[in-house]
Structure 1
Amino acid sequence: MNRYMENHVAKELEAMLKKAQPLFTTKSCCIYKVPHEIRQSNEDAYTPGLVSIGPLHYGNYRLVTMESHKQVYCQHFIQRSEASLSDLVSCVQQLEPHIRACYSEKINLTVDKLVKVIFIDCCFVIELFLRDEWMRNDAIFSKPWMWVRVIYDLLLLENQVPFFVFEMLYNLAFASRLNNGGKFSPFLRLAVGMFSKVEKQGVLTLETSRIAHFTDLLRYLYLTPFHTTTPRERGQLVLGHGASELFKAGVKFQVNKSNHDCILDLEFEHGVLKIPHILVHDKTEVRLRNIVALEQCHYPRHHYLTDYVNFLAQLVNSNKDVDVLINAGIIESTIIGNDTSVNKIFSDVGKNILMENYNANYLQICHGLNAYYKHPWHTKMATLRRDYFTTPWKTVTFIAGIALLLLILLIQTVCSILQV
């Protein structure tokens, strides 16, 4: 009896283990559920508030209202397309295994159901992008608040469809107009044009095949070839002093206006820290959180935006630090209320993030700033400039005082000589 039970359990275990699958089973995996440790500090920053795209948030009762509107957009896209509905659906059906492999989570949808979800969502997004160019008399575009919320929902890591699906549907739908030099732009250019309206960042220089999805596209808009080839080193990115302390030690802060047009271009030399202009608004935290989450999951050894957030969090960790960068023209905040929330954004985004290497340039900058602060001569000179040379009147008074002191010493010396 015992032997029978053992064999029965062994067979059940064998059957169960055969079905087991490891996490991230393929190299195609690029769309992730944000780890609990990261998302717990701000659940809403990773959750769509108006429209779901892809299977991870499909069926969310909060997003049901937009489903009918997505279907209306889908109908208009089909009418606009030169390919038939059957051909468009067949395209997604052929891609279904590759689409499913792109998600880190197991998708509990049948093949047919997943095809329907992906098809409607992709048609909705493409039609949305096309309407932005030619059809502004629309329920979404007539309400700016709704348009902005939809666009930012499209940038969330969990709210993604692989980029290649959009491209293949778009190319199939408008094949003749794309190939014959018509007015239709390539889908990548269309997407960049759309997101550039809410995120004024750099110019994309990478080929389409490198882009996994819209969150990845946003990340690439922040990067340049200069940064993707910057060496990385193991170590700790530790800045021992905030901006206000560094300012008191004589460090000058300036807006970096380099030709790279990239917010990651930090420079420190001859006591001057140059940082590109930073516009902080209500969606800055959402944008940074999703890019950092993507880098944590997908770019564990090339997390350049995470390095940047880590550095800024240490540089502006108090109200006084933020004021220093605002006064220098580096930070511009459009957040209604107290600008002290700026430092909280950077500190919160960087929480529960694990890193094993860093941008070598940032490590060098931290080392240089820490060494500059420790040098006693720099602090004394900064105090002298702050106390005696901040205004023309103080400068004149100081020079007059020194001249008077020298004159007194000279008179005393002459008197001493005459007495002898």
Structure 2
Amino acid sequence: MDYVEVELGDVDIIQSTVQSLLDCVENEKSRSYQLLPSIYMVPRVFRELSPSSFNPRVVSIGPLHREDKKLQEFERYKASCVHDLLHRLDTPTEETLQACVRKVNDLIDRIRACYAGMMSTYGDVDLAKMMVMDGCFILEFIYNFSEGRQIMGNMLLEQPVLFDLFILENQIPFFVLNDIYQCTIFKLGSNEASLSKFILPVLDFIDIYSGSGSSNNIIGTDTSPDHILGLLHERYRPSSNISSDFPISLIPSAAELDMAGVKFEPNRNAKWSMAMEVKFRRFPWLFWFWAMDMLVNTQKDVATLVRSKVLLNNFGSDDEAASMLNGICKEVTPVHFFYSQQWKILDSHCNSYWPKNVAWLRRTYFNSPWNIIALLAGIILFALTIIQTIFTIKTT
């Protein structure tokens, strides 16, 4: 009898466990909005590479860094900006806030689904207040930026706030920002018909490729990114006809390519500065950094690219710049690589007869003044030996 009771007990435990798992899966399915979280904390493996690169420096946007005490001081600036925005409108302040809160409250569950890894739990009232406050602040900041005005007359705040707005962990959903835009800035009678166009001056300011024409992908289209950072991603999304595959072999470094006769030419529109690495490492140009990582192994490679004006090095040290480029892609596997055709051309060039041997000669005999002097001395000595041999033969 005891043996049977044990058997039945095991069955009950198994069935109870299975049912608990089924309930968990069904509950998650019922809460799903067919939306993966688009705003989340960067995984630890990436954060450890540069801990300061992923945290806002001045202002907290959204719930993920709301409890950071170092950012609390800016809340009064934020409230002042919201005050200025609301009093710029013709409609009463309370009426505008009611319209904003109503729109946000109707989407509160969808808003929650956009976030993963909240540092604390917020009720519907607190979350709605946060969305309206942060959304109004962002719009007022961009409005002032476009008009050439500074936050509270403090020019030192402008740039750090600007870059804080483009941190993955420091976002609010784009659909929330758009609803608040429709309730506020849009009513000012601006010529800008869409939120994307309204944000365009900010995107132009941080644009690393001035005049690239990429902004045309935003203007006049129904762009619906996840957040402001997603809008920046869209700006640099390549056209669908660009092939994307990974090179089957690595190419020589920049210095070795230079020895093989490869001439580096700068992008005439490039404004990227290595001094801004901490800011730009969060943006969607990983395949570019990956290409640079393959080109740069030592400080000589950085010197070659700087001399060719491909890079602008504001680090002050080629060695430090090389270390940055070699470390920026650690633990990261690029999804796309859009330089595969150029890589194939370089590989073919470097493996052909003359470039390979010219590179060897330059590396062996022309890599320092002393080697050049020794080579010239050897050539002269060889020539004199030949001449002496000829005269010796003639006189005998």
TM-score interval, normalised by the smaller of the two chains: 0.7 to 0.9
- AA aligned to 1:284 is E
1:377 is aligned to: 354
Aligned-residue offset at 1:216:
1.7
2:331 is aligned to: 352
1:363 is aligned to: 340
Aligned-residue offset at 1:329:
1.1
Count, aligned residues: 365
Q: Are 2:257 and 1:246 equivalent residues in the alignment?
A: yes
1:158 is aligned to: 169
1:93 is aligned to: 105
- AA aligned to 2:320 is S
- AA aligned to 1:111 is D
| Structure 2 Cα separation of the partners of residues 176 and 23 of structure 1 | 35
SS of equivalent residue, structure 2 residue 303: helix
2:132 is aligned to: 119
2:229 is aligned to: 215
Aligned-residue offset at 1:385:
8.1
Aligned-residue offset at 1:325:
0.5
CA RMSD of aligned residues (A): 3.8
SS of equivalent residue, structure 2 residue 35: coil
1:279 is aligned to: 273
- AA aligned to 1:280 is M
Alpha carbons of structure 1 residues 175 and 198: separation in structure 2 relative to 1, 3 Å: closer
| Structure 2 Cα separation of the partners of residues 366 and 321 of structure 1 | 17
**Structure 1: where are the runs of 5+ without partners?**
262-275, 293-304, 389-393
| Structure 1 Cα separation of the partners of residues 31 and 293 of structure 2 | 32
Aligned-residue offset at 1:12:
6.0
Alpha carbons of structure 1 residues 370 and 25: separation in structure 2 relative to 1, 3 Å: farther
Aligned-residue offset at 1:57:
1.3
Question: 1:54 aligned to 47, 58, 62, which one?
Answer: 62
SS of equivalent residue, structure 2 residue 265: strand
| Structure 2 Cα separation of the partners of residues 23 and 343 of structure 1 | 47
Alpha carbons of structure 1 residues 131 and 351: separation in structure 2 relative to 1, 3 Å: same
| Structure 1 Cα separation of the partners of residues 191 and 16 of structure 2 | 67
Aligned-residue offset at 1:318:
1.1
Provide, for residues 1-29 of structure 1, a one-character-per-residue CA deviation record: whole Å limited to 9, x for no partner: 97688487777666555544699863363
Q: Are 2:300 and 1:320 equivalent residues in the alignment?
A: yes
Aligned-residue offset at 1:95:
2.5
Provide, for residues 251-292 of structure 1, a one-character-per-residue CA deviation record: whole Å limited to 9, x for no partner: 2211244xxx6xxxxxxxxxxxxxx674322x323322x225
Q: TM-score, normalised by structure 2?
A: 0.77
Alpha carbons of structure 1 residues 341 and 199: separation in structure 2 relative to 1, 3 Å: farther
Aligned-residue offset at 1:193:
0.5
Aligned-residue offset at 1:62:
1.7
2:369 is aligned to: none
Aligned-residue offset at 1:377:
1.5
Alpha carbons of structure 1 residues 185 and 333: separation in structure 2 relative to 1, 3 Å: farther
1:172 is aligned to: 183
| Structure 2 Cα separation of the partners of residues 28 and 209 of structure 1 | 18
Alpha carbons of structure 1 residues 95 and 49: separation in structure 2 relative to 1, 3 Å: same
Instruction: Tell me if the contact between 2:247 and 2:343 (Cα under 8 Å) persists in the aligned partners.
Output: no
Provide, for residues 317-376 of structure 1, a one-character-per-residue CA deviation record: whole Å limited to 9, x for no partner: 2100000001111111233x3133222333222111134x643x5233323323322334
Identity %: 22
- AA aligned to 2:179 is M
Provide, for residues 163-200 of structure 1, a one-character-per-residue CA deviation record: whole Å limited to 9, x for no partner: 2222221122244444xxx4567432332202322334
Instruction: Tell me if the contact between 1:285 and 1:345 (Cα under 8 Å) persists in the aligned partners.
Output: no
Q: Are 2:54 and 1:40 equivalent residues in the alignment?
A: no
Alpha carbons of structure 1 residues 9 and 224: separation in structure 2 relative to 1, 3 Å: closer
Q: TM-score, normalised by structure 1?
A: 0.73
**Structure 2: where are the runs of 5+ without partners?**
367-371
- AA aligned to 1:230 is I
Instruction: Tell me if the contact between 1:136 and 1:142 (Cα under 8 Å) persists in the aligned partners.
Output: no
Instruction: Tell me if the contact between 2:166 and 2:228 (Cα under 8 Å) persists in the aligned partners.
Output: yes
Question: 1:103 aligned to 108, 115, 120, which one?
Answer: 115
SS of equivalent residue, structure 2 residue 205: coil
